[in-house]
Amino acid sequence: KEIVDHFGGMQPKHGNFVPMARFSFLQDLLTNVTQAAVITSYHTGEGQHAWDLVCAHANDLSCFIFDRGYFDGALPFLMAALHTHFVVRVPVKAFAKAQQFVESGKKECEIQLPAPGWIKEELKQCGVTFKDDSLTVRLVRVELNTGEVEVLMTNLLDADLYPAEEFDQVYHLRWSIEESYKSCK
């Protein structure tokens, strides 16, 4: 009862109610050392976890790598406002510019994300400011062995310094976090 009262849970289509919480790690992907963790109500989204971890731990030497569940429209602006780098897998079907990019067949491209007032207001409430009217980001195509295409968004814009071919390997580094989640569960 105490766990349900604090964290909530989930009612599956078939079966009994299951008490559940949601947690996220901030993990150094080169050493597999967890730097920070957040555990919240099951109903708190991964996007909120991303905001909490980024706001508490970002610096200009950071490069955060996120799975698609952590993507929200304001996250790239938060990272830019905090002068930190990111690579995030975007949900292609829910993001029109990613769909257009996949259909183009290109390996990579730069796009402009407009900065609407609601994003600037959300950032201001978190104590950060994004002054520009748009944000330049780079989309990178990652083709899986299955033929599925994943799209990574990043503010690592220099293609000579950060070649598109390396993003697949970099993104794959985050798999160690999934293994850590299994251990914790």
Paired residues of 152 in beta bridges? 89, 140
Segment 105-116 mean pLDDT:
95
In the structure encoding, which two tokens stand for residue 170, read together? Answer: 């970099």
pTM for the predicted model, two decimal places: 0.85
Per DSSP, the residues of 76-122 read HHHHHHTT-EEEEEE-GGG-HHHHHHHHHT-SEEEEEEE--HHHHHH
* Interval 64-74: pLDDT, tens: 988 888 888 88
Residue 69: count other Cβ atoms within 10 Å of its Cβ: 14
Q: Which tokens sit at 154? A: 């990043």
- The predicted-structure confidence for 130-165, as pLDDT tens digits, reads as follows 989 999 999 999 998 898 899 999 999 999 999 999
